[in-house]
Chain A
Amino acid sequence: MIMKHWYKIISVFIIFYTLVWGLLNPVPRLDILNETIRNVYYHVPIWFAMLFMMLVSLIFSIKSLSTNKLADDIKAYNAAVVGFFFSIPGLLTGSVWAKFTWTTWWTFQDPKLNGVAISILIYLAYFILRFSIDDELKRARISAVYNVFAFVMMNVFIMILPRLTDSLHPGNGGNPAFAKYDLDSNMRMVFYPAVVGWLLFSFWLFQIKNRISFLNNKLDD
């Protein structure tokens, strides 16, 4: 039983640790940010989980192209759904944080925000593309090819372009992310576990979604 559920147990413990210690641990005193710097423990790992799920989706899309199995296609779709689901709290938390530090809910000055908006539209198009094709095999192939394109475009929009221009986000505008000025060692103690915890948690949601869709498929047969 433990062998099957180890990653879920670890993710729950790690996330619980980050919820408690993330609010208690000493953080750098900074103007404007003040206590909101703790949002790094919650807002950023959510985005990492989204990126991770999109990567899982890409892997299963490529796999479905080589194996031609419908199961892989369904997994790719489920991973994209979970990733999409994580992008919504990511956007909302970012928006709230921006309101109180950058004084606006949304700014078009920041390439990362624009990139994220475009990426979300790209993945929306992926879902619409899937719904528009009735033939299962055709749907698997076309949406897998599109998914490869979508993943690459998302990385261009939220990882590459923001680094080429000035951005309000730390670690952009030429600097590598999480340079020594952005995170001190106290924050790393919470931030890195938080990323791992949320990645595992997203994988748990992905597995639940898979099991439900396989049950659904069996029901259709």
Chain B
Amino acid sequence: MIRNIFIFLLILCSIALKAQEAHLPNMAETFRNDGKIYVVISVISIIFFSIVLFLIFLERKIKRLEDKFKGN
């Protein structure tokens, strides 16, 4: 009898746990576990660093022009 009640309680617990799990908001877990997030990060990083490189070259060009004006 006690064993039956115990099993019943266990089942109840597991149902409660499952209900909680079902309520958890979805967070793209499979995508992360596949490691695909690193693909996104590398693409974003490449774009960001190319913009930074562009700005650096632009600044160097401006510096050269400034030196030209100082020379005059």
Find residues 41-58 in chain B having any chain A CB closer than 8 Å to their own CB: 41, 44-45, 48-49, 52, 55, 58
B34: chain A residues within 8 A (beta carbon): none
Contact of A19 among B26, B41, B55, B66 (CB under 8 A): B41
A33: chain B residues within 8 A (beta carbon): 25
A32: chain B residues within 8 A (beta carbon): 25
Q: How many residues of A contact B (CB 8 A)?
A: 21
A215 touches B62 (CB 8 A): yes
B58 touches A208 (CB 8 A): yes
B65: chain A residues within 8 A (beta carbon): 215
**B63 to A, closest residue via Cβ:** A211
Q: Could you show 22 A-B contacts with beta carbons less than 8 Å apart?
A: A12-B52, A15-B48, A16-B45, A16-B49, A19-B41, A19-B44, A19-B45, A20-B45, A24-B41, A29-B24, A29-B25, A31-B25, A32-B25, A33-B25, A34-B26, A34-B27, A35-B27, A208-B55, A208-B58, A212-B62, A215-B69, A218-B69
- In angstroms, Cα B26 to Cα A34, docked, is 6
- In angstroms, Cα B32 to Cα A23, docked, is 10
- A204 near B: Cβ within 8 Å? yes
Secondary structure of the B contact surface, majority rule: helix
Find residues 1-39 in chain A having any chain B CB closer than 8 Å to their own CB: 12, 15-16, 19-20, 23-24, 29-35
B66 touches A215 (CB 8 A): yes
- B5 near A: Cβ within 8 Å? no
B62 touches A35 (CB 8 A): no
**A21 to B, closest residue via Cβ:** B41
Knowing A23-B40, A208-B55, A218-B69 are in contact, say whether A34-B45 is a contact too (CB < 8 A): no
Find residues 121-139 in chain A having any chain B CB closer than 8 Å to their own CB: none
- In angstroms, Cα B54 to Cα A12, docked, is 13
- In angstroms, Cα B23 to Cα A126, docked, is 51
CB of A217 to closest CB in B, whole Å:
10
- In angstroms, Cα B47 to Cα A19, docked, is 11
Knowing A34-B25, A208-B62 are in contact, say whether A19-B48 is a contact too (CB < 8 A): yes
B49: chain A residues within 8 A (beta carbon): 16
A30: chain B residues within 8 A (beta carbon): 25
